[in-house]
Amino acid sequence: MDGDETITGLMGRIQAVAEQGERTRLRDVIDALGRDSFIPQLMIPALAVVSPLSGVPLFSSLCGITIALVSAQMLAQRQRIWLPRWLLEKEIDSERLLSAAARMKRPAGWLDRITRNRLRVLVWPPVLWIAQALCLACGLMMPFLELVPFTSSILGAVVLLLSFGMLARDGLFTLLGFVVIGGLGIGVTMFVNGGTV
């Protein structure tokens, strides 16, 4: 990766948009990322769910819906992204957005530095389609898990790992995403079954 094809570059674009007013619309963020940039538009709500913004009521649901819509269009292999107008017009306080972006810059820089061309088979079809389907499932689950502590952040971390693997063509991140979602699935199964898988 180089230039703006990094998480650090994406954070910079978001900060530039948030500095333009007291409130920031989702439409403005998407326009800044580029209308054909599906993966960045998948990563940004995932990053937001992992950040302190996840504590804002209904924010995780909003991000989950966005993740689901973007993932579905990636699976459908659309050339241009579409989001409903009501979602594009949703606003968030710009100070909160700037604060979250600033907090994410250090881990974003670390992720950018450790990227390598590894396990390439995990970032090409058919495994790529599995990763996109998992992102879709995580997004769909977020609104239903809004009141369960940490679950949206865990799902956001899974989407972030999978999408970063797609962006960087680094299958190690895809593998880590599979491991995290697998661990979450085992944990939920054990909880439901009273401690046994």
The better pLDDT of the pair 107, 54 is held by 107
Residue 126 forms part of a structural domain = yes
Please state whether the predicted TM-score (pTM) of the whole model is above 0.75: yes
Residue 197 forms part of a structural domain = no
Which residues constitute the domain of residue 64? 7-192
The pLDDT of residue 161 is 93
Tokens describing residue 20: 């333009």
The better pLDDT of the pair 62, 190 is held by 62
Count other Cβ atoms within 10 Å, centred on residue 19. Answer: 11
Domain count within the chain: 1
Residue 173 forms part of a structural domain = yes
**Per-residue pLDDT band at 2 (split at 50, 70, 90):** very low
The better pLDDT of the pair 2, 134 is held by 134
- The helix (H) or strand (E) run that includes residue 25 is strand 23-25
Residue 1 forms part of a structural domain = no
Q: In angstroms, rounded to a whole number, what is the distance separating the alpha carbons of residues 151 and 107?
A: 20
| Sign of the alpha-carbon dihedral angle for 128, 133, 135, 138 | negative
Residues paired with 149 in a beta bridge: none
